[in-house]
Amino acid sequence: MVTVTIVIFDKALAASFIGINDLLYFAGNSYQRHSGQAEPGFQVRLASWDGRPVNVMNGLAITPHCSLQDINHSDVYLVPTITGDVEATLEQNAKVIQALKKAADQGSLIGGNSAGSFFLAEAGLLNGKKATTLGRQADLFRKRYPLVDLRPEQFLTHDGNILCDAGGSSWFDLGLYLIELFCDHQTAMDTAKYFMVDLERSAQLSFSPLVSKKHHGDPIVLNIQNWMEAHFREPLTMEQAGERFGLSSRSLIRRFKLATGGTPLNYLQEVRLDAASRLLIQSKQTIEEITTLVGYSDISSFTRLFKRRTGFPPSHYRTRFKSVGNEH
């Protein structure tokens, strides 16, 4: 069972943390039913710093399940968005920020919803990492945290053990990503259908940060992306892709970069490494087997690329996150 702590505070957005609580509750029970596990996939609890009720944006008083300072360990911590004054909220929650830093140091996965990513940045957890946040707060974010690789155009980022989403309904994407990471794709699809969230995404590779790179207006590039996701296990070349879609290699690279901000080769690499991260958690296959399954022939190259993307070598990533996933 994956333990998830949602940190709540005054002026937090209730819809985001109540919504993701419902999302994970449904998914956890759905996974238990179809997998035959003895327990639900997720145990979710709301925690304020001292266990006292908080007054959220709409004036409601929300009573948490527990006190954050009394929690010894949680596999995942999630921070909802800030709806009040960002800088004042950070100042008022200095102890929460320190608790998040300690949790990250202990190996927990930390997620920030929208402006909740300010908590993560204030704790120093985003330095040198990719992150996203609410678009209208991007200038303030950059000013306060120049060491963060901020990408407000992406609605979901995962770098090392840190997750961020960009606001609006992106907390759904954050929740679905956790469900796919720690349960499986079928549970993520079933949950999306139940909550009627982006049903067309069920035809894509996964509920992952890669989806944010498909929000462009080039149908040929979108077809190339879908083709890569369906064939990433095979040895693919840009010449192959260009020939298939009627483009020269040079034109394909130029057009792909214009649409997505990156090269086709980088995208293929991200698809493969995204698949590898799930296999390391969800399967019992060896790292050598996973290397081959995701399209690499050289384990040393795979290890180097995986560490560059996640911050961990594959064996360390598996050790750190396998314990919070479910054995299959």
Give the pLDDT band of residue 94 (cuts 50, 70, 90): very high
State the Cα–Cα distance between residues 171 and 38, nearest whole angstrom. 28
- CA max distance for the chain: 62
DSSP secondary structure code for residue 81 in this structure: P
Cβ atoms within 10 A of the Cβ of 70, count? 9
Lowest mean pLDDT of 30-39, 104-113, 224-233, name the range.
30-39
Residue 189 has pLDDT above 90, yes or no: no
Give the pLDDT band of residue 57 (cuts 50, 70, 90): confident
Coil, strand or helix: which one is 95?
helix
- Closest to 277 (Cα-Cα) out of 196, 192, 168, 160: 160
Give the pLDDT band of residue 200 (cuts 50, 70, 90): very low
Q: Are 107 and 159 in contact (CB under 8 A)?
A: no
**Helices in the chain by DSSP H: which ranges?**
14-35, 86-92, 94-105, 117-122, 138-144, 170-182, 185-195, 219-231, 238-244, 249-260, 264-282, 287-293, 299-310, 314-322
Give the model's pLDDT for residue 202: 42
What are 49's two structure tokens? 């710093």
Give the pLDDT band of residue 208 (cuts 50, 70, 90): low
Tally of helices (H runs) and strands (E runs) in the chain: 14, 11
Give the model's pLDDT for residue 325: 46
- Closest to 144 (Cα-Cα) out of 171, 113, 119: 119
State the Cα–Cα distance between residues 15 and 209, nearest whole angstrom. 22
State the Cα–Cα distance between residues 327 and 103, nearest whole angstrom. 24
What are 31's two structure tokens? 């996974």
Residues 85, 89, 95: CA angle, nearest 5 degrees = 170
Coil, strand or helix: which one is 265?
helix
* C-alpha to C-alpha distances, 126 to 99, 111, 146, nearest whole angstrom: 15, 11, 10
Compute the average pLDDT of residues 161-184.
87
State the Cα–Cα distance between residues 232 and 107, nearest whole angstrom. 30
pLDDT tens-digit map of 17-27 = 999 999 999 99
pLDDT tens-digit map of 305-328 = 998 887 789 998 888 776 554 443
Burial 201-213 (b: 16+ CB within 10 A, else e): beebbbbbbbbbb
Give the model's pLDDT for residue 159: 86
Give the pLDDT band of residue 83 (cuts 50, 70, 90): very high
What are 302's two structure tokens? 């795979």
Compute the average pLDDT of residues 259-268.
89
State the Cα–Cα distance between residues 279 and 257, nearest whole angstrom. 28
Number of residues that this document lists for the chain = 328
Query: Mind listing the domains of the chain with CATH numbers?
Result: 2-187 (3.40.50.880), 216-328 (1.10.10.60)
